[in-house]
Homo-oligomer: A and B are copies of this chain.
Amino acid sequence: MTLKTVDDYRERVSKLRPKFFIGGKRVESLNDHPISRGVIEATAKIYELTMDPKYSEVMTAKSHLTGETISRSLHIHQNTDDLQRRLDMARMNSQKLGTCNYRCPGNEMLPSLAATTWEMDRDLGTDYHSRFNEYLKYAQKEDLVVSGSVTDTKGDRSKRPLDQDPDSYVHIVERKKDGVVVCGAKQHSTGAYVADENLILPGLSCQKGEEDYALAFVVPNGTEGITYIGQYNAYSVEREYAENLHYLGNPIYGQRETSLIVFDHVFVPWERVFMCGEIEYTQRFISRFAKTHRMNCGGACKVGFMDLIIGATELIAEYHGISRKSHIVQKITRMIQLNNTSLACAVSAAYMGKEDPPGSGVFMPDDAMSNLSKLNTNESFWEVLALAGDIAGGVAVTMPSEMDLENPEIGDYVSKYLKSAVPAKERMRIMRFLQNWVAGLHGVGTYQGAGPSQNEMLILYRVTDLEEKKRMAEELANAYY
């Protein structure tokens, strides 16, 4: 077995020294900064779950390259059962962390790479697929954390890369004998600065002339020329300055943390380059990644989040003594409806999955259903947040902190006036947990992560056979006997 322990990971990460900035300051030790520490803890938890025999069916798989037991985070789906287990993993990890598990996007790029490098080699006689397989064997053997990044910074979105600052999209600035030199930046990257490796996919469907942008590669964390700039917002400050993490809504793992990865003349050796100029394949890379990502991150992951939100909301309803009121029951049921709908779409995406491209051995979720899972989740998640905020009451945003509870001058007041059917502390903990959702980054994060609705709608329209539906209607409308 090639699985690594959580301690292995902790040791590896403690040696990383990426150029990483947060809130305008360089972070010297990933483990000592409360923000990167949360990301490490989330990643570590995945290692723990993977080693837990209770979860082995979900968290591990058998490598199709070596036959070894590997983390499912490094697996290429071999059949629709693999797709089902993959979404089970996404949901469970979300339930356990209440935030990003940080191995998801990288994981979802691997099958896309496996399928598309296979296809390019078949069509073009390149050797990307064997390179990729070598890399994958290495990653599986070392049980590495491979982060994945796709979204370029884009600049003015009404312009193509060559009509503006050419670095608005990651691209090759120099081709050398032993590799390529890369410039640009990827935004919204989850987990990159605590990962072992950073995998980069093209973020736009390239046209003729944009060959330098048709680029996929992987580099180790902290490769020379890379700078990570962390996101920074109110929740970042709250975590940065917290005396005691217990006061926060998701004490250990926090909100989702992403970063901007800047590539300033980064050298990538050929054996880590998986696409280089094949513009007509960029769309396939993206859409294969997207449909996998939309089933898991767009769908099942958020099902796990909604499980937590529903659970916390029901707790608060019980604490407030209103959980049996008919309108509360209706609203909780509505939350369940929305959550199960996202799940149903993800399950169907896996059930209706198929080998793509045929002959590659790689299984991909159904196009329509995976996009649908994300599309439905986009609206649902906001509605679930709104319902949670409805049931929790205004105190979800007006509550004092546990620090007030511990202040001897006013602790008794807080204890007296924040209690309900349960003591103040118990209620405040769950309320703070809910605050983290209903007044946090997750509404937008869920909507945008894995792509906003308009993207899914375009694909849904494109993959639907309207001709067949038209034909059926015509047949009935003109029927005779």
Known: A234-B237, A252-B481. A394 touches B444 (CB 8 A): yes
- B443 and A157 contact, CB distance less than 8 A: no
- A400 and B232 contact, CB distance less than 8 A: yes
Q: Which residues of B contact A21 (CB under 8 A)?
A: 400, 404, 407, 409-410
9-residue interface stretch from A193-201, A207-215, A466-474: A466-474
Further contacts, 15 of them, CB under 8 A, given A21-B404, A159-B321: A157-B320, A187-B394, A231-B399, A233-B397, A233-B399, A238-B238, A251-B479, A262-B413, A311-B470, A332-B466, A341-B376, A343-B348, A344-B344, A344-B348, A396-B444
Q: How far is the CB of A335 from chain B (nearest CB, A)?
A: 10
CA distance A262 to B151 in the complex (A): 50
- B464 and A156 contact, CB distance less than 8 A: no
Q: How far is the CB of A472 from chain B (nearest CB, A)?
A: 5
Q: Which residues of B contact A74 (CB under 8 A)?
A: none
Give a binary string over A384-423; 1 marks a CB under 8 Å from any B CB, 0 the rest: 0110011011111111110110110110011011111100
Interface of A, secondary structure class, is: helix
- A407 and B477 contact, CB distance less than 8 A: no
Q: How far is the CB of A96 from chain B (nearest CB, A)?
A: 8
Known: A98-B476, A237-B241. A401 touches B232 (CB 8 A): yes
Q: Which of A236-265 contact B (CB under 8 A)?
A: 237-238, 240-242, 245-246, 249-253, 258, 260, 262, 264
- B337 and A460 contact, CB distance less than 8 A: yes
CA distance A438 to B443 in the complex (A): 8
Give a binary string over A16-53; 1 marks a CB under 8 Å from any B CB, 0 the rest: 00000101111000000000000001000000000000
> Would you mind naming 19 contact pairs between A and B with Cβ atoms under 8 Å apart?
A21-B404, A24-B406, A96-B476, A153-B418, A154-B420, A165-B416, A229-B413, A229-B414, A232-B399, A252-B476, A252-B481, A308-B476, A340-B369, A341-B344, A344-B344, A382-B385, A386-B443, A429-B478, A438-B443
- A308 and B473 contact, CB distance less than 8 A: yes
Q: Does A310 contact B (CB under 8 A)?
A: yes
Q: Can you tell how many copies of this chain the complex includes?
A: 4
CA distance A326 to B443 in the complex (A): 24
Q: Does A440 contact B (CB under 8 A)?
A: yes
- A386 and B394 contact, CB distance less than 8 A: no
CA distance A352 to B340 in the complex (A): 12
Q: How far is the CB of A249 from chain B (nearest CB, A)?
A: 7
Q: How far is the CB of A273 from chain B (nearest CB, A)?
A: 23
- A23 and B404 contact, CB distance less than 8 A: yes
9-residue interface stretch from A54-62, A171-179, A355-363, A447-455: A447-455
